[in-house]
Structure 1
């Protein structure tokens, strides 16, 4: 199990390292040329991409901790560390957004005319295409590997796409003679960043606060009731991550049933649930005698 877990997180780590290199490459290009041409919205988009890189590093730390095997102090494993570090990504997004709002407001009152040229458009279009590819690649890998870090990071990159599009539009408008749009676009960009951070915060908090991991308890009940010997199933509770679900439930059986048979039913319930819902890690079954009518 330990080797399988390490291999799983090794795949996630490789994705993050690859994406980190791409993120910082496009970030440095936008920051350097944005500062060179006094285009605040372009530089702001670059700093947003730079925060993507910081998110990747936070993700790498998170999956390193999450890949550790079960120990005495962590009997449920370390997988929630990955979810916790998704909150770090959200926090980084909020910090970047606040910073951009501050810079945008300052530039409105103390304007500087950007120097937009053909290279500005080339850089923004190339980085936009890179971000599109990264978002799809990372989201696809996140779904395949059932990784909170990769999925939340792809949402971060999705915000980059919208901001890059708004910057390209802003560059066009500035070339038409409306430089005031530069700081306004910067503030507009921050709204996308806030939204991405909020979505990550919402999803990660749901896991950490033990929100029901499976919303449809009827599905679980149906699987359990198909097990021979089970009369009723109730008090179903689920929690955990999408790939690490814990279930506890109560079942009623014949009151005259021997404890050995009751144990076999518990085992059959666990096997049936794990077969139908592979993401389940553990099942706790509380057996009760069904009252005779």
Structure 2
């Protein structure tokens, strides 16, 4: 798949999910306000942040698809990871806001009005979220998209949050009104946890954490005839944009032309045997046979 085709695929997914997220958010916010449920309103704000994260994703993917240029010789793909961090920060803000609201209601309790329609609304919301997560996760893995996988994780937390809201509505119906505020606090914690997970995963890419086991690379390199060994193996990038550099050991009496040809064979073999490799830099070193 070309970068342009990948861009359109991710963009279309984000646009579709944006519409669903905002529809779900408005439903939970309006109905939560109507019945006076802090946990449902908190869940609504979480879904609203989902929509905001979709917009961030759309902006980021439009930048990351740009080709490499003089000032950005490695391309712009890390913008997806920057956007994922923005999504994480958005989750932190939402969780703090929900927590503040829940603490405020401890001194001014409000009894939610729970009816059968409350459960119907949450059942519909749960179904939509489950469909979104399954679809977005599948497409995100297929396209190796940080944006889609981060957004899917964001929406996954929605499912757990919505389940906790349903449990809370049952508890309120049975008379345990205080559980509504407690549930809002738990929801804030779940949202915060999702933000931390997204932040850690995105920082791996931005901080150039190792992405391929060096032993895997060594096995591929040593399969090339006349290669004596390799060391100083480094990898970085994302699963769909892996950069490898290594030092290649060849016989000290080998001429430059042959050494260059072997280096080319190593590059081709790595790109063929390790999915996602986009760039290989080989430094040739002479070694004396013992």
- TM-score tier, shorter chain, comes to over 0.9
Q: Where do 5+ consecutive residues of structure 1 fail to align?
A: none
- Which secondary structure does the structure 2 equivalent of 1:171 belong to? helix
In the TM superposition, residue 291 of structure 1 has moved relative to its aligned partner by 2.4
CA distance in 2, matches of 1:244, 1:211: 13
Corresponding residue number in structure 2 for 1:96: 94
In the TM superposition, residue 278 of structure 1 has moved relative to its aligned partner by 2.4
Corresponding residue number in structure 1 for 2:232: 235
TM-score (norm 1): 0.97
Corresponding residue number in structure 2 for 1:264: 261
Corresponding residue number in structure 2 for 1:69: 67
CA distance in 2, matches of 1:13, 1:271: 32
Do structure 1's residue 275 and structure 2's residue 272 form an aligned pair?
yes
CA distance in 2, matches of 1:253, 1:99: 61
CA distance in 1, matches of 2:110, 2:33: 12
What per-residue deviation string (whole Å, max 9, x for no partner) do you get for residues 124-166 of structure 1? 1100111011011100000011101000100001100000000
CA distance in 2, matches of 1:4, 1:198: 32
The runs of at least 4 consecutive aligned structure 1 residues that moved more than 6 Å come to none
Alignment of 1:1-293 (within 5 A): 4-214=2-212, 216-293=213-290
In the TM superposition, residue 237 of structure 1 has moved relative to its aligned partner by 0.4
In the TM superposition, residue 120 of structure 1 has moved relative to its aligned partner by 1.1
- Which secondary structure does the structure 1 equivalent of 2:71 belong to? coil
In the TM superposition, residue 233 of structure 1 has moved relative to its aligned partner by 0.8
- Which secondary structure does the structure 1 equivalent of 2:271 belong to? helix
CA distance in 1, matches of 2:71, 2:235: 22
CA distance in 2, matches of 1:218, 1:112: 60
Number of equivalenced pairs: 290
CA distance in 1, matches of 2:172, 2:74: 55
- Which secondary structure does the structure 2 equivalent of 1:274 belong to? helix
CA distance in 2, matches of 1:64, 1:12: 10
What per-residue deviation string (whole Å, max 9, x for no partner) do you get for residues 23-73 of structure 1? 111110000010111111111101100000000000001100101011111
What per-residue deviation string (whole Å, max 9, x for no partner) do you get for residues 230-252 of structure 1? 10111100000111000000111
CA distance in 2, matches of 1:195, 1:227: 46
- Which secondary structure does the structure 2 equivalent of 1:238 belong to? strand
CA distance in 2, matches of 1:144, 1:278: 12
CA distance in 1, matches of 2:151, 2:2: 23
CA distance in 2, matches of 1:135, 1:36: 28
What per-residue deviation string (whole Å, max 9, x for no partner) do you get for residues 162-209 of structure 1? 000000000000011111111110001111111111110000001000
Q: Where do 5+ consecutive residues of structure 2 fail to align?
A: none
TM-score (norm 2): 0.98
CA distance in 2, matches of 1:239, 1:267: 20
